[in-house]
Amino acid sequence: MREPYLTGLISLTVDKAELFEFYRSLDLPYRILIEFRLKHKLGKSFEQIVAEEPWRLYPALADTLGLHNAEVFLAVLQDWLRRKGKSVDKETLRRWLSSRDVWFKKATKS
């Protein structure tokens, strides 16, 4: 029996490169806002966070943009993944982008 927190992770094959691709697909003003807020509050860019600690992305967005806007980011990412033929729920995305343990469990399942 699969552990509940891994539900949806088995079919999720998005990696850092795809996170960068998604980010670059966003409108420029939205990317500028994200960059400004992350740099101002955390001293790191979106790309630095994804490259170094992708499991900290959701908390970083929630901290710098607010919880509602972090959820909007997840919804847009979820929609982008769906258009690429990858099905994953927001709760799974949230855990994946918030937990080092879940990120590494996902990586070992891929």
Of residues 108 and 50, the one with the higher pLDDT is 50
Give CA–CA dist 24/38, Å, rounded: 16
54 close to 99: Cβ distance less than 8 angstroms = no
Cα–Cα separations (whole angstroms), residue 46 to 34, 103, 106: 7, 17, 21
Number of domains in the chain: 1
Q: What is the DSSP string of 50-66?
A: HHH-GGGHHHHHHHHH-
Instruction: Write out the residue range of the structural domain in which residue 95 sits.
Output: 4-109
pTM score of the predicted model: 0.81
pLDDT 10s digits, 48-74 = 999 999 999 999 999 999 999 999 999
Output the domain CATH number for residue 28. Answer: 1.10.1200
Q: What is the mean pLDDT of residues 7-28?
A: 78
Task: Identify the residue whose tokens are 């409108």.
Answer: 27
